[in-house]
Amino acid sequence: MLRKELGPMKVMGFARYEAKAGVGAPELIAAARLWQKEFLSNQPGIAFHCFLGNATGGYADAILARDEASFAAMSEAHMQAASSRAFMELLEPGSIRLCLNRLMKDLEAVPDGFSAIEFGTFRPRDDGSFSEEALMAASGRIEREYLAPLPETRAHLMARAGEDTYSEICFVETEGAAREICGGYVSNAACAPLLNLFDPASVDLDFWHVLA
């Protein structure tokens, strides 16, 4: 895991993908570590990176950047680095999904004490009820009334993830706790305003554990 204290962060990149046939987890983890140490650690404005896996054999990268310009500069330099090319060579190209998340509230510091990330995207309901103000009010209520009493929660973020798409990101102590916390949304009154804002059919949600 790469961690730097660079002040508030405004952007989180999240990339999901699968390994090529015949590429094992140990080989991919080693390549991700090398990329993290030789390339990402030297990129200005990149505050955090972790390499993740999920329960179905998928992989992901989470990258926190000080601002969008820093993330763009890193992306531009990416394929110029030998460690980047070696890592990409292990991935199934057609499986790669990139998501640039523009945080709707700055993240002041890289979270501590987590080993899992819940990452989900959604689109608003098409009934005129959605606004970004309503989204942030609903998020704030969840943080105060639902997440705050749960000691496993490390950070909760909302972001713009594309045209008419938003993301919810939660850093959690363990994947088991992340699944329990997410499952509790449907029975907690504090979470209802957020759930009522988005189209359930649009939800793309998964749970990820740290590998490197």
Per-residue model confidence as pLDDT tens digits over 67-87: 999 999 999 999 999 999 999
Last residue of a domain, one of 103, 131, 154: 103
**Which of 39, 68, 103 delimits the end of a domain?**
103
Identify whether residues 87 and 157 lie together within a single domain.
no
pLDDT given for residue 55 in this prediction = 98
CA distance 49 to 13: 9
Q: What is the rounded average pLDDT for all residues in the chain?
A: 98
Cβ proximity of 3 and 48 under 8 Å: yes
Residues 38 and 84 in one domain: yes
Q: How many helical (H) and strand (E) elements, i.e. helices and strands, does the chain have?
A: 6, 9
Please tell me whether residues 135 and 205 are part of one structural domain: yes
Q: Is 86 helix (H, G, I), strand (E, B) or coil?
A: helix
104-121 residue pLDDT tens: 999 999 999 999 999 999
Which pLDDT value is given to residue 130? Answer: 96
Tell me whether residue 87 is exposed, middle or buried, using C-beta atoms within 10 angstroms of its C-beta: 0 to 12, 13 to 18, 19 or more.
buried
Band of pLDDT at residue 206, cut at 50, 70 and 90: very high
Residue 149's domain comprises: 111-210
What confidence score (pLDDT) does residue 203 get? Answer: 98
Same domain flag for 198 and 121: yes
Residue 106: its pLDDT value, please? 98
Report the SS3 class of residue 18: coil
84 plus 138 within the same structural domain: no
| Domain co-membership, 61 together with 144 | no
Residue 5's CB is within 10 A of a number of other CB atoms, namely 8
15 pLDDT tier (thresholds 50, 70, 90): very high
**Looking at residue 93, what is its pLDDT?**
98
